[in-house]
Structure 1
Amino acid sequence: MTTSNASPPSRRSDAQINPPGPPLPVLRENGARLLSFDGGGVKGVSAVMLLDAIMRRVRDIELASGESADQTNRKPVDYFDLAAGTSTGGLIALMLFRLKMDTQECLKVYRSLAKDIFTPTLFGSKFLGSLFRTPTLILNAIFYDHEFLARPLKKAVEKVVDEYSNPSDKWRNSLVHPNSGMMFMCATLADAGESLLLRSYPQPDDAVPVTPKLRQVSESGAVNRIDITSAARATSAAPIYLPPEKWHGITFWDGGVLNNNPISQLWDSRFDLVQQGQPPPVVNFVMSFGCGHSEVKTHSIFKIFNTIARYIESFMANTEAKNLDFRRLVQRMRGRHDQDGHVKYFRLNADCGTKIFDMSDPSIMPALEKLTQEYIDGDAKQDIEQCARLLASRR
């Protein structure tokens, strides 16, 4: 990677010059391809594994058919037109589309990122923090301010950007970037409950928020100048786990408060793939990735605790509810002969049985990865094959 003698660009992008956005994609004849990542803390590793299985199969299919002789890992940004993510799902979308990683790179970085973000520090030691995890989290929440608690995320994201961008690129720290794939991360306005999509492309004129303060920031163009670190902190500011992000006088909570599964925001944003005033694009297929789904049995004297666990797993996370809503929409479009009635919808979400994983504990990742691999080799095998063949067609 080349270096520059010029001073490195500022981490923040609050200057009054808007970074140029990427060109609109040239859509394939069969229509657009959309990609969605749930939020799930460290459990996001499961989603990356699932997409990696598909992209590895895409490479095998292309090599076997003669479609391509390229032996390198396939990049999702070359196969999908728009990606969405929330919380750590937003970080995955950022890595794959804004920083243009392949899935193997993303998997390696995500494992490291999750440990950096979610391993608490006790007396300056991550080892002690992981050893005495729960009391460390309580002590840090009591005795330290928001900036201290958000520092691991900030440092982790900056480290990734430094490694996967060119130091001489004046827009390297901006979320909006001329060479980016099209993606966005969901954030939530804390005091009004409105969603804000933080995009790697300029906010369309007809997508301005409704809340007055948020609308003012958007219309001023500031939202198009947000830096990657601020955007990452905004989408990841999950109550309990990480502090809220304050940017331009606005306080953001994690996008998962409203859109932990951002499939509805992704579908609504398909309009961004064409110029304003043009008909909406035809969509070929939509892929949605969960971070592992648990079935909680409600019996015995622990029924009340099981009920609470199910509430946290299914309703606060709201991922499966969004999946069912979108599945119903697809069925209605087919029945009413909508222009997108032919759209293919895939939802991959590893079955974790009755095991409930703490989304803030990096130590659960090996066990979750094992279950995800079993899902890849079993129940998901047919869908992975079908998805890979659709992607490999390149039409």
Structure 2
Amino acid sequence: MANTTTGRPGLAVLSFDGGGVRGYSSLLIVEALMCAIQREMKLETVPRPCEYFNIIGGTSSGGLNAILLGRLGMSAEQALEAYRRVAKLAFTPVPHFPFSPQGAYSGRNLKKAIQDELERHVIGDREAALAEEIRTSGDEASAKAIVAKRAENARDLLYYDPTACRTVVLAKTTTDVGARPTLFKSYATDPRWMSCKIWEIARATSAATTFFPSIKIGRDKIEFLDTALGNNNPCDTLFDEISREFPENNIYCMVSVGTGLQKAIELKNNRLSILRSLAKLATNSNAVHSAMAQRHGSNKPRVYWRFDEDAGLHDVELDNWDAMSKVAGHTSNYINKPEVQNEMNELASCIKVASGEGPNGAS
């Protein structure tokens, strides 16, 4: 879709909420959306999100989703496979002293899980890569050294890459969790973060205070944790930042994907209940959605879209990777709803028009 001022195409943005293992639901929803785009565009294969979204962003588990689909350019199917493996390894409990500030799970395990996926994504199966290198070079020793170096480089890939799909991941400094979140942009030449590796950014956005320890990254070794308290739904932050950063390009399509609606928040007359309720309120993504819907609901053509499983995920613990099948079942039921199918088809039609193939598309 052309910008009315410049004639250039506008921007399509995909935003992911945080939600622990329930982030798997978000990827399933995006997979269904890409299938809708495939049908609408009459494509031979299911496209990758990075082929139709200019910017992909997220926080916490949604930040990991953004990295998989955006910075690494995975298909939804590839990201789902990676997510399952990461969740299984990352959410393996480690022993800690009671009330340890380190979180229930190992930051090292999360780092390894992410690095394993980077290696798999870049070089594929290591044994197969080694066999191919031996076949090509004829020297097993040098072949092993070459493959080992490729694997090492893959595990330490830099987050910064202006040639990849623009990816924006949110985290907060431990010095002031009430401050505006830091936005790590894969395309920005910010000297503070240009040396950061993909696994470091993924660790920073995933450092939920009760699950994983915080991490110091970047030139100045600033300590970060995730943005669940206050920015669990980052779509408003992303919308405002992108609009400011790219004023010449309207956002024609803002797609926000949740991790399951929360139950109504009830306040009871005891201190622990009040604290829990306040924590839930701080992570309630629906409040941001309501504000975005009110802000953009009258836009013609439509700009804002929200997909969020609405029935069975609220009681899935954020760290229960064994519940993946339950997450998948509830999300499948949500996707199959006629009203959700209609929303996805309408969005696919909007993207088709913007790509220049619809009746009102740019030439």
TM-score tier (shorter)? 0.7 to 0.9
| Cα distance in 2 for residues equivalent to 1:169 and 1:39 | 29
Percent identity between the two aligned chains:
25
Once the two structures are TM-superposed, the CA of residue 54 in structure 1 deviates from its matched residue by 0.7
Q: Is the 8 A contact 2:71 2:166 kept in 1?
A: yes
In structure 2, what residue type is equivalent to 1:42?
V
Question: Taking structure 1 as reference, are residues 169 and 242 closer, same or farther at Cα in structure 2, changes over 3 Å only?
Answer: closer
Query: What is the correspondence of 1:305-344 to structure 2 with a 5 Å cutoff?
Result: 311-313=278-280, 315-331=281-297, 334=299, 342-344=301-303
Q: What is the TM-score of this pair, normalised by structure 2?
A: 0.78
Cα RMSD (Å) of the superposition?
Answer: 3.2
For residues 103-130 of structure 1, what are the alpha-carbon distances to aligned partners after superposition, in whole Å with 9 as ceiling and x for unaligned? Answer: 1111111112111111224xxxxxxxxx
Once the two structures are TM-superposed, the CA of residue 169 in structure 1 deviates from its matched residue by 11
Once the two structures are TM-superposed, the CA of residue 140 in structure 1 deviates from its matched residue by 8.2
In structure 2, what residue type is equivalent to 1:56?
C
Aligned residue among 147, 164, 181 for 2:165: 181
Task: Extract unaligned runs of 5+ from structure 1.
Answer: 1-26, 122-135, 204-217, 335-340
Aligned residue among 55, 71, 75 for 1:82: 55
Q: What is the TM-score of this pair, normalised by structure 1?
A: 0.72
Number of matched residues? 318
| Cα distance in 1 for residues equivalent to 2:171 and 2:242 | 18
Match of 2:342 in 1: 382
| Cα distance in 2 for residues equivalent to 1:387 and 1:238 | 32
Aligned residue among 216, 239, 254 for 2:226: 254
Q: Is the 8 A contact 1:154 1:233 kept in 2?
A: yes
Q: Is the 8 A contact 1:85 1:186 kept in 2?
A: yes
Question: Taking structure 1 as reference, are residues 373 and 309 closer, same or farther at Cα in structure 2, changes over 3 Å only?
Answer: farther
| SS in structure 2 at match of 1:346 | strand
Question: Taking structure 1 as reference, are residues 268 and 304 closer, same or farther at Cα in structure 2, changes over 3 Å only?
Answer: same
| Cα distance in 2 for residues equivalent to 1:380 and 1:240 | 33
Question: Is 2:238 aligned against 1:233?
Answer: no
| Cα distance in 1 for residues equivalent to 2:108 and 2:348 | 38
Q: Is the 8 A contact 1:295 1:354 kept in 2?
A: no
Question: Is 2:241 aligned against 1:284?
Answer: no
Match of 1:198 in 2: 184
| Cα distance in 2 for residues equivalent to 1:354 and 1:147 | 22
Q: Is the 8 A contact 1:189 1:253 kept in 2?
A: yes
In structure 2, what residue type is equivalent to 1:387?
L
Q: Is the 8 A contact 1:294 1:353 kept in 2?
A: no
| Cα distance in 1 for residues equivalent to 2:32 and 2:271 | 38
Once the two structures are TM-superposed, the CA of residue 30 in structure 1 deviates from its matched residue by 5.3
Match of 2:305 in 1: 346
In structure 1, what residue type is equivalent to 2:163?
N
Once the two structures are TM-superposed, the CA of residue 179 in structure 1 deviates from its matched residue by 2.7
In structure 2, what residue type is equivalent to 1:231?
I
Match of 1:9 in 2: none
Aligned residue among 331, 334, 351 for 1:391: 351
| SS in structure 2 at match of 1:223 | coil
| SS in structure 2 at match of 1:356 | coil
| Cα distance in 2 for residues equivalent to 1:307 and 1:107 | 36
Q: Is the 8 A contact 2:173 2:222 kept in 1?
A: yes
In structure 2, what residue type is equivalent to 1:98?
R
Q: Is the 8 A contact 1:153 1:233 kept in 2?
A: yes
In structure 2, what residue type is equivalent to 1:345?
Y
| SS in structure 2 at match of 1:225 | coil
